[in-house]
Amino acid sequence: MKTSTLGVILIRMLLGLQGCEKPAQPELKNTSQLPFSDAVITKDVQGKWARSCVLCHVNGEGGAPRLGHPEEWQPRLAQGEAVLLRHAVEGYNNMPPLGYCQACEREDLRALIKLMSAGGA
């Protein structure tokens, strides 16, 4: 292999690696502005979590953000409440519509997301 060919390959490899760094995630510092901050976590919501969400959000099955791991929730929360609710209702990636919680209403989903993203009730 000629030196110039090797140089071209190295340059292409380096160029291919540029921009692959993980983008910085916006920080959410003011908790009063956090999505779902006004959602109410009730015993009923906790029961729905135990029957549905726990299946994936404890161990991170299928890439689900885990309870008690705010760093996994921060990029999702940064997308805003409307996006997260749409994903919860319609399903997203490996999560099925309503996240297996067929009895969940909009306010239940808001509270469930708050519960999981905050690390518990």
pTM: 0.71
Report pLDDT for 120. 66
In one-letter notation, the amino acid at residue 78 is A
> In the structure encoding, which two tokens stand for residue 60, read together?
């991170």
The 10s digit of each residue's pLDDT in 20-55 is: 333 343 444 444 467 899 999 999 999 999 999 999
Question: Which one of 3.20.19.10, 1.10.287.3510, 3.30.300.30, 1.10.760.10 gives the CATH number of domain 30-118?
Answer: 1.10.760.10
Domain positions in the chain: 30-118
Q: How many other C-beta atoms lie within 10 A of the C-beta of residue 108?
A: 22
∠120-84-112 over CA atoms, to 5°? 25
